[in-house]
Amino acid sequence: MTEPSSGGVQQVARVGGNTIDTGTIPIVFVPGIMGSRLHFTKIKRYWDPDHTISRMRHWLLSSADRVRRDFRVNAASNPVEVMTDGDQLSASQRERGWGGVAWGFYGSLLEHLEGQRYGAYDTPVYAIGYDWRQGNDHSGAAIATRIEEILAEQDAERFILLSHSMGGLATRAALKGNAEVAGKLAGVCHIAQPVTGAAVAVRRMFTGATFSGDGLAMMALLGSNRQKFQTICSALPGAMQLLATQDFTKTDGSWWYTYRTFEEPEVDRAWEGLCWSLYAQPQSPPGLLAPADSRHAIAAVPRREFNRRLAEARAFHMGMGLWKHANTWTFYGTGNTTDTSLHFELPPVEAKLSLLSTAMHSLNPFTEDIRYKARRADGSEVSVPGSEVDPSDRGCVMQRSDKSDGTVPVASAKALFGGATHEYASGTAYDYETQRQFYADGGEAHDQICADPKCVAFLDDLITHLVGS
């Protein structure tokens, strides 16, 4: 059994060539966005995916602005605590944070890890729930502090870290920002991490959550149109950090933000440059926000907050980039469909109301759409339905691929290691020193990947490698 490469991080110490010289190595799990159970103590609300009917109705039924105000990050006026309860949990499991994460997403993995014996020493399993509303730099600092407490509780010199989804961004921030904690890491596995963000997060900025792309539950939670989604996101620094970043590409490595104009519909074009600058442009698209005087604009207060969140997301990702700890492994899924790029068929720049159409509409308002006239670049005039003159989604066309886990495109999930990847097969001998990135094809989708049998088997193999036998 070989040592994990350290790249400046102290090597794992072994006794007899095969076991670590401490009796305990904690395994620490960090969930993804919305995967931590939160209690909003002042407004008496809960974010609790395990109790959707009894505790989540507020988020499902309230207006977008009410959700924004109740999600807003403010330690004084809107304090939040990570929950600790759980009827199915023992006292020890509650003390180790299991009550802070959604059992429906992560319970089976925690129970599995708890039931294993990795080598000749103890590997107590901890979970770190966190306030996922916050930016990942803030969450990372909180996670690093909790890891320090865990190491002190267990009198341990090393730990193993597992993350899911946005938890990968938060744990990378924790390790990058705390050299002492990073120096005690035996190894980290980021599961389904959106390293360079996700196109679906940008698409929803124009369409909101859709039935075909996101499902009814996400429509109710996130908002079913552009204004609702942007209004809610304006309160959530963490969610805004899931936008496609400066390193995001299509699966083949090419640029992902393209369009055609109404005037020249045969000419393929692309918005080029730093994505953060594009997102902030006043023209939308490529800017995310509709102009303030547009009928699709969000209100002034969430607009200011949205721009602040966008600047924070830019600062976080420009600082983090593709950084990773030297003792890093990744696991991701593919074979499920999601947005992998963004394309627009833009409406006409100018359109004039058709008087004949207006007259016909007044005679039969239930069957006749008001029509407009717009001119192509070649001089031809085209009749355009009123619904296509100024659509809320600006002509957004979903560009979907099964090169993803249903949420995170493969290009983003494997960005830390580029093209070097291996389809995991249980029982196969891997050289985990040189083989750092693995995937499962056609398995569980993003939310349930931590319960995927291949993912669980991979984690068993990796943990065994990290701690010896």
Residue written as token pair 């006292």 = 91
Q: 128 lies in a domain?
A: yes
Average pLDDT, the chain: 92
Mean pLDDT of 73-78: 90
Domain of residue 159, CATH code = 3.40.50.1820
pLDDT at 19 > cutoff 70: no
- How confident is the model over 209-267, as pLDDT tens digits? 998 888 888 899 899 999 999 999 999 999 999 999 999 999 999 999 999 999 999 99
pLDDT above 90: percentage of residues in the chain: 83
Same domain, 463 and 352: no
Are residues 116 and 176 both part of a single domain?
yes
Query: Has residue 286 been placed in a domain?
Result: no
Q: Do 50 and 104 have their domain in common? A: yes
The verdict on residue 165 lying in a domain is yes
Regarding whether 449 and 366 lie in a shared domain, the answer is: no
Looking at the fold, whether 355 and 379 belong to one and the same domain comes out as yes
Answer yes or no: is 174 within a domain: yes
The answer to whether residues 447 and 413 belong to one domain is yes
Mean pLDDT to the nearest integer, 390-399: 93
User: How high is the pLDDT of residue 398?
Assistant: 84
50 and 123 in a single domain? The answer is yes
What is the reported pLDDT for 229?
97
Say if 254 falls within a structural domain: no
- Indicate if the pLDDT at residue 10 is higher than 50: no
Same domain for 384 and 333, yes or no, is no
Considering the domain boundaries, does residue 256 fall inside one?
no
My answer on whether 380 and 438 are in the same domain is no
Would you state the pLDDT for residue 8? 34
| pTM score of the predicted model | 0.91
245 part of a folded domain: no
Question: With helix as H, strand as E and coil as C, how does the chain read?
Answer: CCCCCCCCCCCCCEECCCEECCCECCEEEECCCCCECEEECCCCEEECHHHHHHHCHHHHHCCHHHHHHHHCCECCCECEEECCCCCCCCHHHHHCCHHHECHHHHHHHHHHHHHCCCCCCECCEEECCCCCCCCHHHHHHHHHHHHHHHHHHHCCCCEEEEEECCHHHHHHHHHHHCHHHHCCEEEEEEECCCCCCEHHHHHHHHHCCCCCCCCHHHHHHHCCCHHHHHHHHCCCHHHHCCECCCCCCCCCCCCCEEEECCCCCCCCEECCCCHHHHHCCCCCCCCCCCCCCCCCCCCHHHHHHHHHHHHHHHHHHHHHCCCCCCCEEEEEEECECEEEEEEEECCCCCCEECHHHHHHHHHCCCCCCCEEEEECCCCCEEEEEHHHCCCCCCCEEEEEECCEECCCEHHHHCCCCCCCCEECCCCCCCCCCCCCEEEEECCCCHHHHHHCHHHHHHHHHHHHHHHEC
Q: Is residue 56 over pLDDT 60?
A: yes
Decide if pLDDT at 356 tops 60. no
| Same domain assignment for residues 353 and 442 | no
Q: Is residue 334 domain-shared with residue 428, that is, in the same domain?
A: yes
Number of domains the chain contains: 2
Sign of the alpha-carbon torsion through 49, 51, 52, 55: negative
Domain shared by 56 and 90, yes or no: yes
Task: Report yes or no on 384 lying in a domain.
Answer: yes
Q: Which domain holds residue 378?
A: 348-388
